[in-house]
Amino acid sequence: MNQYSLAEAMTDKGNFTVPKLPESNMGFGVLGVFLGLLLEVSTHGPHAVPRTSWRHQDLDLMEFSEPDIFNYSTLLLSERRDALYVGAREAIFELSKKNVTVKNNKVQWTVAESPMVMCTQKGKSKERDCLNYIRVLQAVDDERLYVCGTHAFQPQCDYLNLADFSLDRRPEDGRGKCSFDPSQSFTTVMVDGELYSGTAYNFLGSEPIISRYSPSQSQLRTEYSTSWLNEPSFVFADVISEGGSRADGEDDKIYYFFTEVSVEYEFFGKLLIPRVARVCKGDLGGQRTLQKKWTSFLKAKLVCSMPELNFVFNVVHDVFILKGAERRDTVIYGVFTSQWGNVGLSAVCAYNMTAVEEVFSKGKFMQKATVEQSQTKWVRYNGIPPSPRPGACINNLMRRQNISSSLHLPDKTLQFVKDHPLLEDPVLPVGNRPRLITKDVNYTQIVVERVRALDGNIYDVIFTGTDQGVLHKSVVYEGEVHIVEETQLLKNSESIKNLLLSSQTRSLYAGSDSGVVQSPTAFCGRYLSCGDCVLARDPYCAWDPRAAACVNIFDAPSQKLRKLIQSLNGDADKCPSDLSLSLKDYRRVTVKPGSSAELPCLGHSNLAQVMWKTNGSALTEASRFHLVAEHGLLIYSVAPEDQGQYECWSVEWAPAAGKNFTRLVAGYVLALDLPRRAPPPPPPAGRATAATTAQEAWSTRAAAGDGKPDRALLTSALAPPSFTAAVRFTSPPQTDSSLTPPPPPSSTIKFQPKPHLLPSSNAPRPDSRDPAAEYLQRSNSTALLFLFLLFFLLFLAALAYNCYMRYLPAPCLRLRAALLGSHKSAHQPEYRACEAGLMESASASTAAAEKMTMTERPTQNGSQTAQSVRALRDTGYETEPECGNGQIPSGTAAGDSPTQEKPFDVDCESQPIQFADADEPYC
């Protein structure tokens, strides 16, 4: 099957001038994308599972919110003033950075009567839209913040004096600085007192603008044209400073990140494309051409895809620029999902700043070409662009040519950049693939911190926030990503709207609709054994053998660092072996005969498998036992022979270390509470025997072992803290005779953890955490075949239906006519003629057929509005090449929907038919 697909089309750097989806393969291409997705979702791609899950109620996070105030979505940290500024709906707060529960200041900014009335008259809701959502908080200087709010769809900005935390109350027009609509995406950044923003300039939100407002210079903005910005959704902007140190006198640059509707690909409906755009700080606009417009605006495509799975992540949600000491150490991190959100995959891609600059300074331009009369396409510009290079910042070389500012740029250069803002060369991610792919989450926010671990290496720790209020923390180790933990940051499963990180307080700050949460960057103290601490592979954490505690390395005094145990590949063999466990540490559980017993085993790792041992041998298939949630063991109807010693073991596979690590997590001695009156074998004696046996079993195991006992690390698993944790549960499991008999226990004991926090994640999780199983297994190909057959049947059904409904062109119609033997279309003869012409040029048309683009299809099928995947899927089948015998896509059935955009002027008589979907009147 030819897997030509979007992924290839979008990363196509070949010789074709038009990125395209070849017609003959299109059906398969679309099918390929979908099969690719199914494959990806149904089997295990390179996604990762968080090792540890922290529930909100188990953590003592600092939270801030005030009654009747919502939408805490704008955050600004001030390291100098030790403050976190929060912009919410109609209020601005100053919180303590060390502890966000401490509110130092508050100011309210409400909407007056008349703007409110105007807003409601325009049909906006008084309770929701016509309020003042504070969306811009930027530091002007040490004394003042610049603040903007949506202000009932009439954005306003004002200065906030930090000394007395009061607004100037001399509002300025906020158009172009802040969005009108509180739910519309936008971005701002303040650079040297000038506000750069990406937002909409009008009430309807239909006029996108990237602009600069400066107290001293005139305002600069983008040209209002779809080739500059086409329905963008802005996510981030930041400055990359050259520091004035570069020998070539390069200017500072402001980078914008957004998703927009592509102009260069033709597709069903709207194909979204993630972009990076850039402007120069010193830009002053042009003298004649591009007056008060950017002369340096250029944009390029950001690629985040899995080429081997034909899968493209084409929506960017947030970006973080990790600025290194050297500019070449600067890395741009972005979180992406697919336009087809139902796939449930999120990705993190990283981009080398040097590569981004390379694209802007050397990349080929694209140009709009008019094909025949009306249709335009974007193709590569193959000519030599004018000099100086269009869109380049002013540097010393230009200054030597007497071009000291953009006002001196020649008109030729300016006209060129005005018409060619799009570069053809894409920005490719580091390693040509995502750093991280996660299933069943939608990442909304990202921050990254660079951490030097005890091994002396520097690791980028990636924090990603989801739309369910969960935070993932990941670390890249030797190219492989490891999700250290997931944390339910927000009480409710709502979206994380903003995420900031302070290295100073080692805290993360998350803003959401309902409040602000502060969380430490690591929870080292919650790892209770050395094994757990090391297997966590958290660069912030290390085990202190002296104190028998997992500590944050940034809290530890430097002279102690050498003694700490840390291994980022998770080699828990570095832990001191501690076998000093004794039976008295085992919890005694006494139950009445016939009642059930629950033995909890609260392991911390989602990567571990839980193994229960009784009297020293592993539990196998046994109908008496049943695993309950949270790794507990539930024994139904306890009988005398069930008495004995029970141990919960965790077997964790550490891929980076290439080893299994086995740890004892909890131990119990189960005994029956026999009635006093009938004293058969005295229980204490029985218990003692059991205990002795257990002790023996234990020693034997410790000595001879089973499996790989010597390598298997019996860490300090039963070191007191771990044990306490393991058995720390509130309701005693024993003597629960009131418990209604549960359903028949399953005969197979599956020791599979069911870890995740995500409240809504009822989507299927991978059944196995075994990395060996994470790749396509043979059995899946059967499933795949089945799927394929299913699809094929569906396709046939769709084909038949469409043929019957006369949506499909000539051959079908003829077939239909033959079958139904009636209703000749009035246009049939023309059709035939056209088709005959097509037949003749069949061989020539193969190449031409490749130019068949996707936009034209929906028109052909009379479903122009097709935008959704469903529509895409349908049309994909309907236009499956079979109808045209696999080669000749033929004209629209007569009387079908009139085509709005006539793609090409085709004359059947005078020239070989080039385009399949040429409209009937044209033939």
Which stretches of the chain bind ligand NAG, using CB under 6 A? 70-71, 182-183, 328-329, 331, 341-342, 344, 352, 354, 401-402, 440-442, 467-468, 513-514, 609, 614-615, 641-644, 651, 653, 660, 689-690, 693, 770
Cβ neighbours, 10 Å, residue 464: 29
* Dihedral of alpha carbons 769, 774, 778, 783, sign: positive
SS3 of residue 859 by DSSP? helix
Decide whether 329 or 419 has the Cβ nearer to ligand NAG. 329
Of 33, 42, 13, 3, which Cα lies nearest the Cα of 268? 33
Alpha-carbon dihedral of residues 511, 514, 515, 518, nearest 10 degrees?
Answer: -60
Q: In 3D, which of 498, 605, 411 has the Cα closest to residue 137?
A: 498
CB of 761 vs ligand NAG, minimal distance in Å: 6
Distances from the Cα of 521 to the Cα of 471, 525, 541, 554, angstroms: 10, 12, 10, 11
CB 196 within 8 A of CB 188: yes
Tell me the C-alpha distance between 195 and 189, whole Å: 6
Which pair of structure tokens corresponds to residue 662?
Answer: 């086995």
Q: How far is the CB of 410 from ligand NAG (least distance, A)?
A: 11
Helix 23-42 and helix 842-849, axial crossing angle in degrees, nearest 10? 50
What are the residues whose beta carbons fall under 8 Å from the beta carbon of 664, sequence distance 6 or more? Answer: 581, 647, 648, 649, 650, 714, 717, 718
Q: Which is nearer to ligand NAG, 442 or 507 (CB)?
A: 442
Least distance between ligand NAG and beta carbon 105 (Å): 22
| Residues 6 or more apart in contact with residue 508 via CB below 8 angstroms | 447, 463, 471, 489, 499, 500, 501, 502, 518, 519, 520, 521
Q: Which two tokens stand for residue 639?
A: 């009988």
| Phi, psi torsion values for 456, nearest 5 degrees | 85, -10
| Sequence letter at residue 503 | S
Cβ closer to ligand NAG: 685 or 818? Answer: 685
Which two structure tokens, joined as six digits, stand for 313? 């992540």
DSSP conformation letters of 724-783: HHHH--SS--S-BTTSPPPSPPPSS----------TT--SPPPS---GGGGS--HHHHHH
The CB-of-895 to ligand NAG minimum distance in angstroms stands at 38
Closer to ligand NAG by Cβ: residue 463 or 795: 463
Residues in the chain, how many?
A: 923
Q: How far is the CB of 609 from ligand NAG (least distance, A)?
A: 5
The distance of closest approach from Cβ of residue 355 to ligand NAG in the complex, given in angstroms and rounded to an integer, is 6
**Nearer to ligand NAG (CB atom), residue 70 or residue 729:** 70
CB of 27 to ligand NAG, least distance (A): 26
Nearer to ligand NAG, 769 or 851 (CB): 769
Minimum distance between the CB of residue 644 and ligand NAG, rounded to whole angstroms? 3
Q: Which is nearer to ligand NAG, 182 or 809 (CB)?
A: 182
Supply the minimum distance, in Å, between the C-beta of residue 341 and ligand NAG.
Answer: 3
Q: Which is nearer to ligand NAG, 83 or 300 (CB)?
A: 300
By beta-carbon proximity to ligand NAG, the closer residue of 252 and 329 is 329
CA 591 to each of CA 491, 581, 636, 644, 789: distance values in angstroms, whole numbers, following the listed order: 37, 24, 11, 12, 55
Nearer to ligand NAG, 547 or 639 (CB): 639
Contact criterion met (CB below 8 Å) for 624 and 642: yes
Written as six digits, the tokens of 586 are 């085992």
In the complex, what is the shortest distance from the CB of residue 860 to ligand NAG, in angstroms, rounded to a whole number? 29
Compute the least distance from the CB of residue 167 to ligand NAG, in Å: 21
Report helix, strand or coil for 458: strand
CB of 614 to ligand NAG, least distance (A): 4
228 versus 612: smaller Cβ distance to ligand NAG: 612
Token pair 């469409």 is found at 802
Nearest to ligand NAG of 445, 614 (CB atom): 614
Phi then psi dihedrals of residue 819, to 5 deg: -75, -45
